[in-house]
């Protein structure tokens, strides 16, 4: 019954956080953490724990793959140097700074580096949920950093655990080899998985089978990387980025629509569940300590949280300026960020479930059979840092964004206007040739031409600030009228079914067509 109770609690928590968050204007992840902490007081759920393997092998591949599919590879290429520095040097620097502070607070060096590796990487899930209001370049940098830096942190973690347990020896050659295997092996596993995925996807014409293959892709990538002791995280990210480029050419519309709905729902539920479970683990970690130990642990949480934030600020306000001195090319000058952008990016370094999964993965004993030193403190401090970054930074970020007064980013709207107008113009140009090849009647061709020309006119008029207001208002009124007529049609079909004049099978067939048209109309942009 515990599993069923947990499913119900997680579902209710997600619903409650979304509804309350909109009313109170608080990010849902913050509320989910609070709900998770409160759930930990329920006696029946006190035994609930988040197995690290579930996050690393089940939740993480799905979430990272979807983030990779929906990010911009072009922006990653443009900002590749900054992303690489953030996901490698910053992670190692943060882990080292945390290790120094933790060691000063009486934690041995090995466990101190384990703690540093746990809290060093930012979390893609938290960044995506809490930093949506940022301009495209900022959010791309943050998401890409969060997608890649887990691989660096996991290598540091494995080294620290191995050295503490007596299984590893710290040499420059050995450390370099581990990083090389992790990155190159992860990239190779991702490329191989994407290649296999493209071959498999071409075989399945059925949307259901095609999407089953898509769901398997991140798990196959992670598995292949793990088999060669490489970064499963990087393998999933590489596979997702490649599929984001190849997918539009080989995946049919029906498969794509079904996939978007399935992945959106799955990632939404997984994200919400993770935040709740992190809250439960944080509350459980508090229960595991008492008295003086609890006070010392709380001091450690405050100190490590401060170091994590300070290290990020220090990195963003030193390394980029050093690069400016070395790289004076004009194209690089155009891509420089103001200090306002850097403050916002520094405040967006949220930690999440990956950090907790790393902390929970710490073994309970070393080779000699003795307990792993400081394991409880590592779990507690990691939980505290996650809560601190999500709650404190999450609540402060909207105010920081308002203070920064970042310029309004219209690049997405401008490029969408270009894409839609160009596509419509090209369609009008080839309409006669396509109609002739299909043997289409002239009346149908003329109807299609009028629809495309009207659509093009609305796009062009909507591109202005005032000239297109009447056209846009008429278009919105037309959409509202069409939706109202669909409601009337649906009510009529239901009346016929209830009167036993048509069968349920017929109802479902007609309703499916009405639903498709309603979804299409409801998702029309303002300039469509």
Residue 100 CA: distances (Å) to CA of 43, 87, 215: 38, 20, 41
Helix, strand, coil share of the chain (percent; to 5): 80, 0, 20
pLDDT above 90 covers a percentage of the chain that reads: 28
Residue with more model confidence, 46 or 33: 33
Which listed CATH number (3.30.465.10, 3.30.420.40, 1.20.1530.20, 3.50.50.60) goes with 52-274+294-409? 1.20.1530.20
Between 37-51, 433-447, 468-482, 508-522, the lowest mean confidence (pLDDT) is in 468-482
Mean pLDDT is lowest, of 92-96, 265-269, 300-304, for 265-269
Mean per-residue pLDDT over the chain, rounded: 85
pLDDT of residue 470: 64
Contact between residue 59 and residue 353 where contact means Cβ atoms under 8 Å apart: yes
- Weakest mean pLDDT among 6-20, 45-59, 138-152, 192-206: 45-59
Phi then psi for 121, rounded to 5 degrees?
A: -80, 140
DSSP type of residue 134:
S
Place of tokens 């990691």: 382
pLDDT of residue 94: 96
pLDDT for residue 524 is more than 60:
no
Checking if the pLDDT of 464 tops 60, the result is: no
Kindly indicate the confidence band of residue 341, based on its pLDDT and cuts at 50, 70 and 90.
confident
Residues 83 and 146: their CA atoms lie apart, in Å, by 9
Other beta carbons within 10 angstroms of residue 490's beta carbon come to: 16
As annotated, the residues of the chain forming the CATH 1.20.1530.20 domain(s) are 52-274+294-409
Q: What is the pLDDT, as a whole number, of residue 526?
A: 38
Nearest-angstrom CA–CA distance, 349 and 278 = 17
Are 280 and 40 in contact by the 8 Å Cβ rule? The answer is yes
Other Cβ atoms less than 10 A from the Cβ of 94: the count is 28
Tokens of 216: 């398997």
Give yes or no for a contact between 83 and 310, defined as CB atoms under 8 angstroms apart: no
Summarize the confidence of residues 143-154 as an average pLDDT. 87
CB atoms near residue 296 (< 10 Å) = 14
Q: Which pLDDT score, from 0 to 100, does residue 465 have?
A: 45
Instruction: Tell me the range of 97-106, 151-160, 251-260 where mean pLDDT is highest.
Output: 97-106
Among 225-229, 414-418, 422-426, 509-513, the range scoring the smallest mean pLDDT is 414-418
Write down the pLDDT at residue 98: 96
Helix, coil or strand: residue 105: coil
Q: Is the pLDDT of residue 472 over 80?
A: no
CA dist., res. 255 & res. 253, Å (int)? 5
For 54-64, the pLDDT digits (tens) are: 777 888 899 88
Greater model confidence, 525 or 22 = 22
The mean pLDDT value for 457-471 works out to 62
pLDDT attached to residue 185? 94
Asked which of 89-93, 209-213, 272-276, 520-524 is least confident by mean pLDDT, the reply is 520-524
CA gap 280, 297 in Å, rounded? 18
Structure tokens at 259: 């996939």
Closest CA to 49 of 471, 379, 402: 379
Separation between Cα atoms, residue 12 and residue 18, nearest integer Å: 10
Residues of the chain with pLDDT > 70: what percent? 92
- The CA–CA distances, whole Å, from 199 to 54, 206, 235, 253, 421 equal 29, 15, 18, 18, 33
- The SS3 of residue 371 is strand
Using CA atoms, how far residue 285 sits from 34, 69, 356, 360, in Å, is 14, 35, 11, 11
Q: Which residue has the tokens 């043997």?
A: 439
Q: Is the pLDDT of residue 518 over 90?
A: no
Q: Are 193 and 239 in contact (CB under 8 A)?
A: yes
Gap between the Cα atoms of 251 and 204, Å rounded: 10
Give the list of residues 6+ apart from residue 378 with CB closer than 8 angstroms, or none: 111, 114, 115, 118, 359, 362
| Region 496-521 average pLDDT | 87
Indicate the SS3 state at residue 72. Answer: coil
The whole-number pLDDT of residue 413 equals 78
Please give the backbone phi and psi of residue 115, each rounded to the nearest 5 degrees, phi first.
-60, -45
249-257: long-range pairs with CB below 8 Å, 24+: 250/198, 250/201, 250/202, 251/201, 251/210, 252/205, 252/207, 252/210, 254/207, 255/207, 255/210, 255/211
Of 205, 203, 201, 197, the closest CA to residue 65 belongs to 197
Residue 152 has pLDDT above 60, yes or no: yes
Contact 7, 272 (CB under 8 A): no
Looking at the predicted structure, is the pLDDT value of residue 439 above 70?
Answer: yes
Whole-angstrom distance, CA of residue 270 vs CA of residue 63: 8
Rounded Cα gap, residues 453 and 290, in angstroms: 72
Q: What pLDDT band is residue 301 in, cutting at 50, 70 and 90?
A: very high
- CA 442/CA 273 separation, integer angstroms: 56
Q: 371 pairs with which residues across the strands?
A: 365
| Eight-state DSSP code of residue 368 | T
Coil, strand or helix: which one is 131? coil
> What would the mean pLDDT of 144-171 be, rounded to a whole number?
83
Local confidence band at 89 (pLDDT 50, 70, 90 cut-offs): very high
């Amino acid at each position: 019954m515990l599993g069923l109770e947990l499913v119900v609690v997680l579902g209710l928590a997600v619903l409650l956080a979304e509804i309350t968050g909109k009313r109170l204007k608080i990010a849902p992840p913050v509320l989910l953490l609070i709900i998770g902490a409160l759930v930990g007081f329920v006696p029946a759920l006190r035994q609930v724990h988040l197995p690290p393997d579930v996050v690393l092998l089940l939740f993480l591949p799905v979430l990272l793959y979807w983030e990779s599919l929906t990010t911009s590879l072009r922006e990653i290429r443009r900002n590749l140097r900054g992303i690489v520095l953030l996901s490698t040097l910053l992670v190692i620097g943060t882990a080292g700074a945390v290790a120094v502070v933790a060691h000063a607070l009486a934690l041995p060096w090995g466990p101190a580096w384990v703690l540093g590796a746990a809290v060093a990487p930012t979390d893609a899930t938290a960044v995506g949920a809490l930093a949506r209001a940022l301009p495209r370049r900022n959010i791309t940098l943050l998401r890409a950093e969060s997608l890649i830096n887990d691989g660096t942190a996991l290598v540091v973690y494995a080294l620290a655990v191995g050295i503490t347990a007596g299984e590893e020896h710290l040499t420059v050659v050995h450390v370099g080899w581990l990083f090389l295997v992790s990155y190159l092996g992860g990239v190779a596993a991702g490329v191989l998985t994407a290649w296999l995925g493209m071959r498999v996807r071409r075989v399945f014409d059925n949307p259901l089978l095609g999407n089953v293959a898509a769901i398997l892709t991140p798990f196959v990538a992670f598995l292949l990387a793990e088999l060669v002791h490489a970064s499963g995280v990087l393998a999933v990210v590489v596979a997702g980025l490649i599929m984001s480029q190849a997918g539009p050419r080989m995946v049919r519309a029906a498969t794509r629509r079904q996939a978007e709905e399935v992945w959106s729902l799955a990632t939404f539920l997984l994200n919400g569940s993770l935040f709740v479970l992190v809250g439960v683990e944080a509350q459980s970690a508090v229960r595991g300590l008492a008295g003086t130990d609890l006070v010392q642990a709380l001091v450690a949480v405050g100190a490590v949280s401060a170091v994590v934030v300070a290290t990020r600020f220090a990195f963003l306000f030193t390394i980029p300026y050093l690069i400016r001195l070395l790289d004076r090319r004009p194209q690089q000058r155009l891509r420089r960020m103001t200090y306002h952008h850097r403050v916002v990016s520094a405040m967006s370094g949220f930690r999440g479930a990956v950090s907790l999964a790393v902390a929970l993965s710490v073994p309970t004993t070393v080779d000699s059979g003795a307990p792993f030193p400081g394991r409880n403190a590592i779990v507690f401090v990691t939980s505290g840092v996650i809560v601190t970054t999500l709650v404190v930074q999450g609540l402060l970020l909207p105010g920081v964004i308002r203070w920064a007064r970042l310029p309004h980013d219209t690049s997405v709207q401008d490029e969408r206007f270009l894409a839609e107008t160009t596509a419509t113009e090209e369609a009008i140009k080839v309409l006669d040739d396509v109609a002739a090849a299909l043997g289409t009647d002239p009346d149908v061709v003329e109807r299609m031409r009028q629809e495309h020309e009207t659509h093009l006119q609305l796009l062009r008029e909507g591109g202005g600030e005032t000239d297109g207001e009447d056209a846009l208002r008429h278009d919105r009124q037309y959409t509202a009228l069409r939706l109202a007529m669909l409601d009337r049609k649906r009510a009529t079909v239901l009346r016929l079914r209830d009167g036993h004049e048509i069968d349920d099978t017929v109802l479902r067939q007609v309703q499916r067509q009405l639903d498709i048209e309603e979804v299409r109309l409801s998702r029309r942009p303002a300039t469509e």
